Amino acid sequence: MKDEIVVVGAGGHAKVCIEILREMGETVAYCVGDANALDRCVGVPVLRGDENLMSLYAAGYRRVFVAIGSNRLRNSLATSAIDIGYKLTNAIHPKAILSPTVRCGEGVAVMAGAVINAESTIDSLAIINTGATIDHDCDIGRAVHIAPQCVLAGNVKVGAFSFLGIGSKVIPERTIAENINLGAGSVVIDDLLGSGTFVGVPARRLNK
Protein backbone atom coordinates (compact mmCIF):
# COMPACT_ATOMS: atom_id res chain seq x y z
CA MET A 1 0.00 0.00 0.00
CA LYS A 2 1.18 3.53 -0.75
CA ASP A 3 1.21 6.24 1.92
CA GLU A 4 1.12 9.18 -0.51
CA ILE A 5 -2.12 11.13 -0.83
CA VAL A 6 -4.36 11.51 -3.88
CA VAL A 7 -6.05 14.93 -4.06
CA VAL A 8 -9.39 15.19 -5.83
CA GLY A 9 -9.53 18.61 -7.48
CA ALA A 10 -6.90 20.62 -9.29
CA GLY A 11 -8.05 24.24 -8.97
CA GLY A 12 -7.25 27.10 -6.61
CA HIS A 13 -8.62 25.41 -3.50
CA ALA A 14 -6.59 22.30 -4.34
CA LYS A 15 -3.43 24.40 -4.56
CA VAL A 16 -3.94 25.66 -1.01
CA CYS A 17 -4.77 22.20 0.34
CA ILE A 18 -1.76 20.55 -1.34
CA GLU A 19 0.53 23.14 0.24
CA ILE A 20 -1.07 22.49 3.65
CA LEU A 21 -0.52 18.74 3.23
CA ARG A 22 3.13 19.43 2.37
CA GLU A 23 3.47 21.62 5.49
CA MET A 24 2.20 18.59 7.43
CA GLY A 25 5.03 16.51 5.96
CA GLU A 26 2.79 14.58 3.57
CA THR A 27 3.44 13.82 -0.09
CA VAL A 28 0.73 14.30 -2.72
CA ALA A 29 1.23 11.82 -5.57
CA TYR A 30 -1.52 12.87 -7.98
CA CYS A 31 -4.45 15.19 -8.41
CA VAL A 32 -7.59 13.91 -10.08
CA GLY A 33 -9.12 16.80 -12.00
CA ASP A 34 -11.92 17.35 -14.49
CA ALA A 35 -11.56 17.41 -18.28
CA ASN A 36 -10.42 21.07 -18.26
CA ALA A 37 -7.75 20.72 -15.58
CA LEU A 38 -4.18 21.83 -16.29
CA ASP A 39 -1.36 19.25 -16.44
CA ARG A 40 0.01 20.14 -13.01
CA CYS A 41 -1.29 21.71 -9.81
CA VAL A 42 1.48 23.35 -7.74
CA GLY A 43 3.82 20.76 -9.24
CA VAL A 44 1.58 17.71 -8.71
CA PRO A 45 0.72 15.76 -11.89
CA VAL A 46 -2.99 15.92 -12.75
CA LEU A 47 -4.98 12.97 -14.10
CA ARG A 48 -8.17 14.08 -15.88
CA GLY A 49 -11.39 12.21 -15.10
CA ASP A 50 -12.87 10.77 -11.90
CA GLU A 51 -12.38 7.22 -13.22
CA ASN A 52 -8.69 7.67 -12.30
CA LEU A 53 -9.65 7.28 -8.63
CA MET A 54 -10.40 3.62 -9.35
CA SER A 55 -7.11 2.97 -11.17
CA LEU A 56 -5.08 4.74 -8.48
CA TYR A 57 -6.77 2.55 -5.86
CA ALA A 58 -5.83 -0.51 -7.90
CA ALA A 59 -2.25 0.84 -7.97
CA GLY A 60 -2.18 0.84 -4.14
CA TYR A 61 -3.20 4.37 -3.12
CA ARG A 62 -5.53 4.43 -0.11
CA ARG A 63 -5.51 8.02 1.21
CA VAL A 64 -7.52 10.79 -0.42
CA PHE A 65 -8.20 14.44 0.23
CA VAL A 66 -11.13 16.04 -1.63
CA ALA A 67 -10.16 19.65 -2.40
CA ILE A 68 -13.28 20.95 -4.11
CA GLY A 69 -14.85 24.27 -3.09
CA SER A 70 -18.46 23.34 -3.90
CA ASN A 71 -19.96 21.81 -0.75
CA ARG A 72 -22.29 19.41 -2.56
CA LEU A 73 -19.67 18.25 -5.07
CA ARG A 74 -17.07 17.80 -2.32
CA ASN A 75 -19.50 15.58 -0.45
CA SER A 76 -20.48 13.48 -3.47
CA LEU A 77 -16.88 12.97 -4.62
CA ALA A 78 -15.85 12.02 -1.08
CA THR A 79 -18.70 9.50 -0.93
CA SER A 80 -17.54 7.99 -4.24
CA ALA A 81 -13.96 7.76 -2.96
CA ILE A 82 -15.10 6.05 0.27
CA ASP A 83 -17.19 3.60 -1.78
CA ILE A 84 -14.04 2.65 -3.72
CA GLY A 85 -12.27 1.99 -0.41
CA TYR A 86 -10.28 5.18 0.21
CA LYS A 87 -9.84 6.76 3.63
CA LEU A 88 -10.34 10.54 3.88
CA THR A 89 -7.42 12.43 5.38
CA ASN A 90 -7.48 15.88 7.02
CA ALA A 91 -5.49 18.93 5.88
CA ILE A 92 -4.86 21.06 8.95
CA HIS A 93 -2.26 23.80 8.60
CA PRO A 94 0.39 23.68 11.36
CA LYS A 95 -0.22 27.40 11.88
CA ALA A 96 -3.92 26.93 12.61
CA ILE A 97 -4.74 26.81 16.33
CA LEU A 98 -7.10 24.04 17.43
CA SER A 99 -8.02 23.53 21.05
CA PRO A 100 -7.18 20.01 22.26
CA THR A 101 -10.89 19.57 23.01
CA VAL A 102 -11.99 20.18 19.41
CA ARG A 103 -13.65 17.15 17.77
CA CYS A 104 -12.83 16.90 14.09
CA GLY A 105 -14.29 14.60 11.44
CA GLU A 106 -12.57 13.33 8.28
CA GLY A 107 -11.68 15.15 5.10
CA VAL A 108 -11.60 18.48 6.95
CA ALA A 109 -9.52 21.46 5.72
CA VAL A 110 -8.31 24.07 8.22
CA MET A 111 -6.23 26.84 6.67
CA ALA A 112 -3.42 28.95 8.13
CA GLY A 113 -4.39 31.38 10.86
CA ALA A 114 -7.71 29.76 11.66
CA VAL A 115 -8.54 29.42 15.36
CA ILE A 116 -10.99 26.83 16.72
CA ASN A 117 -11.71 27.06 20.42
CA ALA A 118 -12.73 24.70 23.21
CA GLU A 119 -15.19 21.86 22.65
CA SER A 120 -16.21 22.87 19.15
CA THR A 121 -17.11 20.15 16.68
CA ILE A 122 -16.08 20.25 13.03
CA ASP A 123 -17.92 17.60 11.04
CA SER A 124 -16.42 15.75 8.09
CA LEU A 125 -15.58 17.60 4.87
CA ALA A 126 -15.90 21.06 6.42
CA ILE A 127 -13.57 23.88 5.32
CA ILE A 128 -12.41 26.39 7.93
CA ASN A 129 -10.69 28.87 5.67
CA THR A 130 -7.78 31.27 6.19
CA GLY A 131 -7.95 33.27 9.40
CA ALA A 132 -11.49 32.25 10.33
CA THR A 133 -12.23 32.02 14.06
CA ILE A 134 -14.68 29.58 15.59
CA ASP A 135 -15.19 30.16 19.29
CA HIS A 136 -16.09 27.66 22.03
CA ASP A 137 -18.84 25.04 21.74
CA CYS A 138 -19.63 25.67 18.08
CA ASP A 139 -21.07 22.90 15.96
CA ILE A 140 -20.04 23.04 12.30
CA GLY A 141 -21.92 20.57 10.12
CA ARG A 142 -20.92 18.25 7.32
CA ALA A 143 -19.40 19.84 4.19
CA VAL A 144 -19.85 23.39 5.50
CA HIS A 145 -17.52 26.11 4.20
CA ILE A 146 -16.54 28.92 6.58
CA ALA A 147 -14.77 31.41 4.29
CA PRO A 148 -11.67 33.46 5.15
CA GLN A 149 -11.85 35.86 8.10
CA CYS A 150 -15.29 34.78 9.30
CA VAL A 151 -15.87 35.17 13.04
CA LEU A 152 -18.24 32.84 14.90
CA ALA A 153 -18.89 33.57 18.57
CA GLY A 154 -19.53 30.79 21.10
CA ASN A 155 -22.29 28.17 20.77
CA VAL A 156 -23.04 28.83 17.11
CA LYS A 157 -24.47 25.96 15.01
CA VAL A 158 -24.04 25.78 11.26
CA GLY A 159 -26.03 23.09 9.41
CA ALA A 160 -24.70 20.76 6.74
CA PHE A 161 -23.74 22.21 3.33
CA SER A 162 -24.05 25.84 4.40
CA PHE A 163 -21.59 28.46 3.17
CA LEU A 164 -20.57 31.54 5.18
CA GLY A 165 -19.10 34.19 2.86
CA ILE A 166 -15.84 35.97 3.43
CA GLY A 167 -15.66 38.12 6.57
CA SER A 168 -19.13 37.29 7.86
CA LYS A 169 -19.81 37.32 11.59
CA VAL A 170 -22.26 35.47 13.86
CA ILE A 171 -23.18 36.54 17.40
CA PRO A 172 -23.33 33.89 20.19
CA GLU A 173 -25.82 31.04 20.29
CA ARG A 174 -27.30 31.52 16.82
CA THR A 175 -28.27 28.67 14.50
CA ILE A 176 -27.68 28.74 10.77
CA ALA A 177 -29.71 25.95 9.19
CA GLU A 178 -28.60 23.53 6.45
CA ASN A 179 -28.10 24.71 2.85
CA ILE A 180 -27.78 28.42 3.64
CA ASN A 181 -25.59 30.82 1.65
CA LEU A 182 -24.49 33.79 3.71
CA GLY A 183 -23.14 36.78 1.77
CA ALA A 184 -19.71 38.27 2.29
CA GLY A 185 -19.50 40.71 5.18
CA SER A 186 -22.89 39.79 6.65
CA VAL A 187 -23.60 39.92 10.37
CA VAL A 188 -25.96 37.27 11.75
CA ILE A 189 -27.96 38.39 14.78
CA ASP A 190 -31.01 36.09 14.35
CA ASP A 191 -31.26 32.38 13.61
CA LEU A 192 -31.23 31.75 9.83
CA LEU A 193 -33.79 29.04 9.15
CA GLY A 194 -34.94 27.35 5.95
CA SER A 195 -32.53 27.18 3.02
CA GLY A 196 -31.61 30.15 0.84
CA THR A 197 -29.34 33.18 0.63
CA PHE A 198 -29.01 35.82 3.31
CA VAL A 199 -26.99 39.06 3.07
CA GLY A 200 -26.28 42.28 4.88
CA VAL A 201 -25.97 43.82 8.33
CA PRO A 202 -28.02 42.44 9.94
CA ALA A 203 -28.34 39.42 7.63
CA ARG A 204 -31.73 39.24 5.88
CA ARG A 205 -33.09 36.83 3.27
CA LEU A 206 -32.16 37.84 -0.28
CA ASN A 207 -35.33 37.86 -2.37
CA LYS A 208 -34.34 38.06 -5.98
Ligand X SMILES: CC(C)(COP(=O)(O)OP(=O)(O)OC[C@H]1O[C@@H](n2cnc3c(N)ncnc32)[C@H](O)[C@@H]1OP(=O)(O)O)[C@@H](O)C(=O)NCCC(=O)NCCS
143-162 positions binding ligand X, by CB under 6 A: 147-148
Q: Cβ 52 to ligand X, closest distance in Å?
A: 26
121 sits near ligand X (criterion: CB under 6 A): no
N-to-C CA span, the chain: 52
Do residues 8 and 41 make contact, with C-beta atoms less than 8 angstroms apart?
no
Tell me which H or E stretch contains 55. Answer: helix 52-58
Q: Pick from 21, 183, 188, 192: which binds ligand X (CB under 6 A)?
A: 183
Q: Which of 11, 105, 154, 185 binds ligand X (CB under 6 A)?
A: 185
Q: Are 7 and 20 in contact (CB under 8 A)?
A: no
Please report, to the nearest 10 degrees, the dihedral formed by the alpha carbons of residues 199, 126, 52, 58 taken in order: -170
Q: Which CB atom, from 107 or from 183, has the smaller least distance to ligand X?
A: 183
Q: Are 181 and 200 in contact (CB under 8 A)?
A: no
The piece of 29-37, 59-67, 152-160, 181-189 that touches ligand X (CB under 6 A) is 181-189
Which parts of this chain interact with ligand X (CB under 6 A)?
Answer: 129, 147-148, 165-166, 181, 183-186, 197, 199-200, 206
